[in-house]
Chain A
Amino acid sequence: MVGEKVGDITGLSEELILKSCKLAIKAHEKFPGKLYIYEKNRGSTDVVFAFAGSWLVDHWYSRKPFGETKVDASKFPSLRSLGSDEIALVNEAFSTRFEQLLIKSSFASEVEKAVSDRKQVVFTGHSSGGPMAILAAIWFLEKYVRPNIYQMPPYSVTFGSPLVGNRIFSHALRRENWARYFINFVMRHDIVPRIMLAPISSTEQGLKLMHDFTSPKSQSFQHVPIGNSAAAPAFFLSVMRNASSVASHAACNPMGWTNLLLETVSCFIEISPYRPFGTYIFCIGNGKLVVLDNPDAVLPLLFYCLQLSPGEENAEFLHGIFKEHLVYESELKESLNMQNVVYIKNLIDIPLSSDAGTNYAAATVNSALNDLGLSTRARLCLRAAGELEKQKLENQKRVDSNQDTIWEGLRRVQEYQTNCEIRKIGYYDAFRNQRDANDFNANVKRLELAGIWDEIMEMIKKYELPDGFEGRKEWIELGTIFRRLVEPLDIANYYRHLKNEDTGPYMVKARPKRYRYTQRWREQAEMRSIGSSSESTFWAEVEELRTKPYSEVKDKVLRLEGQAFAWIRDGILGKDVLLDESTFTKWWRALPVQHKSGSCIASYLGN
């Protein structure tokens, strides 16, 4: 944890970080009217795009109280929770500004050029320029890196940036393994990175103060009018109070366990949805840097670092929370030169009290925590974040240990399928009829497998597994095989028991998570559109269509035939669906002659 260099930890050279910082500050101070500026030197291997910040309230909040909205799924298809399909929330004002950037400027084509020149692309921003850099980097990752793993990934480097997205945002970036490309520098006392934890009603005045404080033309440039206005302390207090709400709320509920009190209270108050993500580098002000990359630990830090020590309740402190927003360039020049860096990876074992630390490493960590001003309560929150991460990894281990049992179960179902085929009956129909002891045994296997998978799905839904779980290749593969092989049995069972008459069509009302989620995993991994990998629900479609008159469902029949043709051709759907006695075959043969003669699967089913 000690003695590493910022460049080694982040993968981005100190030189490039400094260059970004300079350009980011320049964009904010010198070119506030420009959407972006960039710097590329002939012969240089990198291009840096910098975005100017703004203090206009409209550029921060689109509406009360927190101004969040769903991300544009067409531009950011990965920013969602895969299985549950919950779309990430983003600050609408920031995202609108980013839209403008794409529409109104030559930004996209400049980036395109940098990509074709094979440059390392860095997006950077100071203050509210930070969110632009973050969104630009995600846009770049979706557009260039996802389709092409050989594309050099971009970096987003921000300085005193406000928060941009909610926990799904953070979850999705970690799942895609992109979180490491987001580097955020935060001065310990800078209030700006905390602003989005409070609603517009309590920060509107503060943004005006920040504007006056930072603009050279204003009378109160670099000077907070504390003497004649209560606005500055009120701003600080309300940001802190809201930060306290967010941090303590998150700490009460680490694993999403139900607590009725929290549930009731959440009907009465709204809590900021915004959460940090990526790597955070806290600048303490004495040249020391503290690095953390666990978002659950960064959140409480944003709050606890800004607590007052006894005797600090003075104007100087208040001045500091404004002033520190403006010192990034000089601070980084010094600290990147000093390289006094503490990277806190192992959160579980951090010392709890300020005088602990017997060996060198513990003492260094402890002095970093002391410099951040962390009380025992704050340290407990960091440990809890570490513990949560550890617990998730342990859960994953436990889930992984099920793989063999699942493979074994799948093998049995496969045997069943083969046995049925020998008897010239598709396993779907055999299972639907349930005449034989084999059918019964297959049902028991189906239920056993469902039990294992349902438990996993439940854990995913509650975010009890590491964020990366739904992107793991082995599980995507296993999930796909499981879904293709076993889902037909679930459908057979459903229609055998006429549950459609109680509950409605399988696809609408009853499709279990174990199939919905696994299908989404594959679609995301292979960059297919949502719903495109529905081969395992072929039978549900057949069951619904065959109860309806042809004239009503003609279009759907045509679509299904087209899909079935491709699936059978590609071997995704077994040929047993075409057996003479199959429900599908019988239904298809009963379709009107003129339809059949023109059908694409006529060649399979002949006459």
Chain B
Amino acid sequence: MEAETEASSFESSEMLATFLASTPLLEESWKLCHHANTALVQNFVVNRVGEVTYVAFPGVQNVGGANCCSRDLVALGTAAEGVFTAFNRHDEGEEPVMVHAGLLQLFFAIYNTQIFRDKMSELVNESKSLVFTGHSIGGAIASLSALWLLSSLPKTSLSTAVFCITFGSPLLGNESLSRAILHERWGGNFYHVVAQHDIVPRLLFAPSSPFIQQLHSFFQSRHLSLKTPYHAQLAVELSNENKAELFHTVLACLEANSGGVSDLERSPFWPFGSYMFCTDRGSICMDNATVIIKLLYLMLATGSPTSCIEDHLKYDKYIGRSCWQYLMRTSFTEGSSIESSYEAGIALALESAGINSHELAYGLAKDCLKMANQVGCRRNLNNAKLAVGLSKITALRAQIEWYKAFCDDSDDQMGYYDSFKRRSASKRGNKVNMNRCRLKLFWDKVIEMLKTNQLPYDFHMQPKYVNASQFYKLLVEPLEIAEYYRSGMHKKKGHYIEHGREKRFQIFDKWWKDRKVGEEENSPRSKFASLTQDSCFWGRVEEARDCIYEVASEMDMGRRLLLLEKIEMFEQYASRMIDRKEVSKDVLAKNSSYNLFVGEWRELKSHLQPWPLQFTSFQDGGNMVP
């Protein structure tokens, strides 16, 4: 029941496809792809229409040494060093971003040519908007080109808009690629057009089979036959048995991948971006990967061994049709008795997807459209709920602020950090600790929702959350550090910054770093900041103090020297912070850990007198200071 009410009462998958089809983008892209396929284009072809420049890669590629028929994946970060910078890093425990080895090789064959490089830098400089496009394998190369440009643009000051439209493209990468694209907010930059029964976009769900090589030669010869009648005579024919086996293998594997019960191994390949499915009766557009796989399966199930091959060559017809579809009023034949807007919308979408109500697949397809709708709605609802949650936790935050002010003015002169770290059982301290935990729960939930894709794509760009998370970090991370050292965790796990810092703070660091900043005048501060601007400051203090203890017991001169260097580095860093008044006044409280450090360090130095060492490696040694 809950799910019912959460769903939007209108189905928009068809409307989105209609919108795209009514723009010139789809038609112009296909025109150029068609040209690239038929005009013996070598690598790529460029065409400018108004403000938009189109770059098409032909579907027939000189495959050469590249093995396009296997399912081998390579990690994009390592295999393409420095080209796809956005995918270099990956999180522990997650599979690295990987793409099809053969397709990547094909991309590099083009990427490494001087003509491609020259043309790209020319286009990027001259054109405000670039569309990469391609049919079949050309589509995969278009995707890689778009990924490459999207990852390299931030390094330039250019603001070229990049879009990628593929027609019948094979799958390109694994689920991590799909997730990484979502995280970069590039999901909307990829639009994959898939004809009703086209086998190629579905091929990689199946393990490689000898037919695939044959299929490739078949398509290649069919493409060539379009150009010259001479080739037509040479056309490779696939036997009916081959077609049937291919069709049934792919269908079975797709079923397994779309959640059906099966012994078949799941394919590592995963769709990304939006998919537009075209049939004789219309088109629909989806962006939920699970739903896309399911539709790939259900729609293929309505096809036949012949149509799955033929459809790969029928984009001309499908695109032409969907671009003029708007002109005609279409009558609605299915379920004319439906009264609910939502059900009617779904029925229309399924009719466009070519799935009839009397077919077995109808119920399944209906469920998966509903699921996609709910996921989309839930994102927005979650966002709205979080906004309420955020306003509720501000009171907790205010209490901690109040506590900080109390500590900073307190007679024991320990300051915020040390008061909390060395607190005795008091109502006030407990309450603050409780608030710390509740805030932690809130933000962990936010991050969990973001990770599982339950929030709008631009969530981490909303100033509201960027500011709130930064403020939270500055205010509460000192408490986290205090708790860490208070409970002796550093003895078990190692120092906070390297071993104890929770992931959420790193994520908030990134949000803050990536936020859009206007031109702000940076005049020097007149008073100490109300919160220390480096939230790990206390962690560094603890480490420095630890070093001092170690120095005392360290006999090895080399290591001793390193420790001293580290302490010296910290001291310089801290006094810079203090000079710039970037610390809060609790740092300078008479009995604060920092002042203890200063005392201990002074003492240590006096024992070391006369200063025995020349620290030559200040600038590049040590990793304590950012």
* Interaction A to B: yes
Please encode chain B, from 15 to 41, with 1 for each CB lying within 8 Å of some chain A CB and 0 for all others.
110111011110000000000000000
Docked Cα-Cα span, A307 to B187, in Å, equals 33
- Whether B185 is near chain A, meaning CB under 8 Å from some CB there, is yes
- Asked whether A248 and B15 contact (CB < 8 A) given A264-B189, A444-B398, the answer is yes
In chain A, what residue has the closest Cβ to B339? A352
Taking a contact as CB atoms under 8 Å apart, the answer to whether A267 and B387 are in contact is no
- Whether A530 is near chain B, meaning CB under 8 Å from some CB there, is no
Q: How close is B338's CB to chain A, nearest CB, in angstroms?
A: 7
**Among B12, B345, B387, B520, contact of A504 (Cβ-Cβ < 8 Å):** B520
- Asked whether A380 and B12 contact (CB < 8 A) given A308-B328, A455-B387, the answer is no
Taking a contact as CB atoms under 8 Å apart, the answer to whether B329 and A447 are in contact is no
Taking a contact as CB atoms under 8 Å apart, the answer to whether A454 and B329 are in contact is no
Taking a contact as CB atoms under 8 Å apart, the answer to whether A440 and B402 are in contact is yes
Please encode chain A, from 346 to 359, with 1 for each CB lying within 8 Å of some chain B CB and 0 for all others.
00000011011000
Docked Cα-Cα span, A509 to B519, in Å, equals 11
Please encode chain A, from 232 to 269, with 1 for each CB lying within 8 Å of some chain B CB and 0 for all others.
00000100111011001101101101111111110111
Taking a contact as CB atoms under 8 Å apart, the answer to whether A261 and B191 are in contact is yes
Taking a contact as CB atoms under 8 Å apart, the answer to whether B185 and A355 are in contact is no
- Whether B131 is near chain A, meaning CB under 8 Å from some CB there, is yes
Taking a contact as CB atoms under 8 Å apart, the answer to whether B188 and A268 are in contact is no
- Asked whether A375 and B330 contact (CB < 8 A) given A260-B187, A264-B163, A443-B398, the answer is yes
Residues of A near B348 (CB, < 8 A) are: 376-377, 380
Taking a contact as CB atoms under 8 Å apart, the answer to whether B10 and A384 are in contact is yes
Q: Chain A interface: which of B95-103, B360-368, B482-490, B521-529?
A: B521-529
Please encode chain B, from 369 to 391, with 1 for each CB lying within 8 Å of some chain A CB and 0 for all others.
00000001000100000011011
- Asked whether A251 and B394 contact (CB < 8 A) given A245-B23, A260-B185, A264-B188, the answer is no
- Whether B341 is near chain A, meaning CB under 8 Å from some CB there, is yes
Docked Cα-Cα span, A447 to B390, in Å, equals 11
Taking a contact as CB atoms under 8 Å apart, the answer to whether A310 and B326 are in contact is no
Taking a contact as CB atoms under 8 Å apart, the answer to whether A455 and B388 are in contact is yes
In chain B, what residue has the closest Cβ to A382? B341
Taking a contact as CB atoms under 8 Å apart, the answer to whether A244 and B24 are in contact is no
Residues of A near B328 (CB, < 8 A) are: 307-310
In chain B, what residue has the closest Cβ to A503? B520
**Among A248, A268, A352, contact of B161 (Cβ-Cβ < 8 Å):** A268
- Asked whether A448 and B25 contact (CB < 8 A) given A307-B329, A498-B527, the answer is no
- Whether A371 is near chain B, meaning CB under 8 Å from some CB there, is no
Docked Cα-Cα span, A504 to B391, in Å, equals 24
- Complex interface residues of chain B between 497 and 529 (CB less than 8 A to chain A): 520-521, 523, 525-527, 529
Please encode chain A, from 442 to 461, with 1 for each CB lying within 8 Å of some chain B CB and 0 for all others.
01100110111011001000
Residues of A near B10 (CB, < 8 A) are: 254, 380, 383-384, 387
- Asked whether A244 and B129 contact (CB < 8 A) given A375-B332, A455-B388, A498-B527, the answer is no
- Asked whether A252 and B19 contact (CB < 8 A) given A268-B52, A269-B25, A458-B387, the answer is yes
- Asked whether A353 and B336 contact (CB < 8 A) given A268-B52, A373-B329, A498-B525, the answer is yes
Q: How close is B199's CB to chain A, nearest CB, in angstroms?
A: 26
Please encode chain A, from 265 to 277, with 1 for each CB lying within 8 Å of some chain B CB and 0 for all others.
1011100000000
Taking a contact as CB atoms under 8 Å apart, the answer to whether A261 and B287 are in contact is yes
- Complex interface residues of chain A between 194 and 252 (CB less than 8 A to chain B): 237, 240-242, 244-245, 248-249, 251-252
Please encode chain B, from 309 to 349, with 1 for each CB lying within 8 Å of some chain A CB and 0 for all others.
00000000000000000111111100011110100110010
Please encode chain A, from 121 to 163, with 1 for each CB lying within 8 Å of some chain B CB and 0 for all others.
0000000000000000000000000000000000000000000
Residues of A near B390 (CB, < 8 A) are: 451
Residues of B near A353 (CB, < 8 A) are: 332, 336-338
Q: How close is B427's CB to chain A, nearest CB, in angstroms?
A: 14
Residues of B near A245 (CB, < 8 A) are: 19, 22-23
Q: How close is A72's CB to chain B, nearest CB, in angstroms?
A: 29
Residues of A near B392 (CB, < 8 A) are: 451
Taking a contact as CB atoms under 8 Å apart, the answer to whether B188 and A259 are in contact is yes
Taking a contact as CB atoms under 8 Å apart, the answer to whether B161 and A267 are in contact is yes
- Whether B405 is near chain A, meaning CB under 8 Å from some CB there, is yes
Residues of A near B402 (CB, < 8 A) are: 434, 440, 443
- Asked whether A248 and B332 contact (CB < 8 A) given A260-B457, A443-B398, the answer is no
Docked Cα-Cα span, A268 to B399, in Å, equals 49
Docked Cα-Cα span, A383 to B392, in Å, equals 36
In chain B, what residue has the closest Cβ to A248? B19
In chain B, what residue has the closest Cβ to A501? B525
Residues of A near B14 (CB, < 8 A) are: 377
Taking a contact as CB atoms under 8 Å apart, the answer to whether A265 and B398 are in contact is no
Indicate the member of B10, B329, B337, B338 with the most A CB atoms within 10 Å. B329
Taking a contact as CB atoms under 8 Å apart, the answer to whether A262 and B327 are in contact is no
- Whether A497 is near chain B, meaning CB under 8 Å from some CB there, is yes
Residues of A near B592 (CB, < 8 A) are: none
In chain A, what residue has the closest Cβ to B533? A502
**Among A244, A255, A304, A498, contact of B22 (Cβ-Cβ < 8 Å):** A244
Residues of A near B391 (CB, < 8 A) are: 447-448, 450-452, 454-455
Docked Cα-Cα span, A255 to B376, in Å, equals 13
Q: How close is B271's CB to chain A, nearest CB, in angstroms?
A: 14
**Size band of the interface chain A makes with B:** 35 or more
Residues of A near B337 (CB, < 8 A) are: 353
Q: How close is A263's CB to chain B, nearest CB, in angstroms?
A: 6
Residues of B near A251 (CB, < 8 A) are: 12, 15
**Size band of the interface chain B makes with A:** 35 or more
Q: How close is A224's CB to chain B, nearest CB, in angstroms?
A: 18
Indicate the member of A352, A353, A504 with the most B CB atoms within 10 Å. A352
Taking a contact as CB atoms under 8 Å apart, the answer to whether A307 and B23 are in contact is no
- Whether B274 is near chain A, meaning CB under 8 Å from some CB there, is yes
Taking a contact as CB atoms under 8 Å apart, the answer to whether A352 and B341 are in contact is yes
- Whether B359 is near chain A, meaning CB under 8 Å from some CB there, is no
**Among A255, A452, A497, contact of B530 (Cβ-Cβ < 8 Å):** A497
- Asked whether A267 and B395 contact (CB < 8 A) given A261-B188, A307-B328, the answer is no
Taking a contact as CB atoms under 8 Å apart, the answer to whether B131 and A268 are in contact is yes
Please encode chain A, from 306 to 341, with 1 for each CB lying within 8 Å of some chain B CB and 0 for all others.
011110000000000000000000000000000000
Docked Cα-Cα span, A496 to B405, in Å, equals 12
Taking a contact as CB atoms under 8 Å apart, the answer to whether A265 and B344 are in contact is no
Residues of B near A259 (CB, < 8 A) are: 16, 188
- Whether B456 is near chain A, meaning CB under 8 Å from some CB there, is yes
In chain B, what residue has the closest Cβ to A270? B51
Indicate the member of A252, A308, A383, A504 with the most B CB atoms within 10 Å. A252
Residues of A near B274 (CB, < 8 A) are: 261
Q: How close is A561's CB to chain B, nearest CB, in angstroms?
A: 25
- Complex interface residues of chain A between 473 and 504 (CB less than 8 A to chain B): 496-498, 501-504
Docked Cα-Cα span, A452 to B388, in Å, equals 8
Taking a contact as CB atoms under 8 Å apart, the answer to whether A375 and B329 are in contact is yes
Residues of B near A452 (CB, < 8 A) are: 391
Taking a contact as CB atoms under 8 Å apart, the answer to whether B341 and A387 are in contact is yes
Residues of A near B336 (CB, < 8 A) are: 353, 355-356
Please encode chain B, from 527 to 545, with 1 for each CB lying within 8 Å of some chain A CB and 0 for all others.
1011000000000000000
- Whether B9 is near chain A, meaning CB under 8 Å from some CB there, is yes
Taking a contact as CB atoms under 8 Å apart, the answer to whether B341 and A380 are in contact is yes
Q: How close is A234's CB to chain B, nearest CB, in angstroms?
A: 13
- Whether B122 is near chain A, meaning CB under 8 Å from some CB there, is no
Q: How close is A458's CB to chain B, nearest CB, in angstroms?
A: 7
Residues of A near B25 (CB, < 8 A) are: 265, 268-269
In chain A, what residue has the closest Cβ to B164? A264
Residues of A near B263 (CB, < 8 A) are: none
Would you list 6 pairs from A and B whose C-beta atoms are within 8 A, ordered by A residue?
A: A260-B188, A380-B10, A434-B405, A451-B388, A451-B390, A498-B529
Binding site for B on A (CB under 8 A): 237, 240-242, 244-245, 248-249, 251-252, 254-255, 257-265, 267-269, 304, 307-310, 352-353, 355-356, 373, 375-377, 380, 383-384, 387, 434, 440, 443-444, 447-448, 450-452, 454-455, 458, 496-498, 501-504, 509, 547
3 tightest Cβ-Cβ pairs between the two chains A and B: A451-B391, A260-B188, A267-B161
6 further A-B contacts with Cβ under 8 Å, apart from A262-B16, A384-B341, A498-B525, are A257-B380, A352-B339, A375-B332, A443-B402, A448-B391, A501-B526
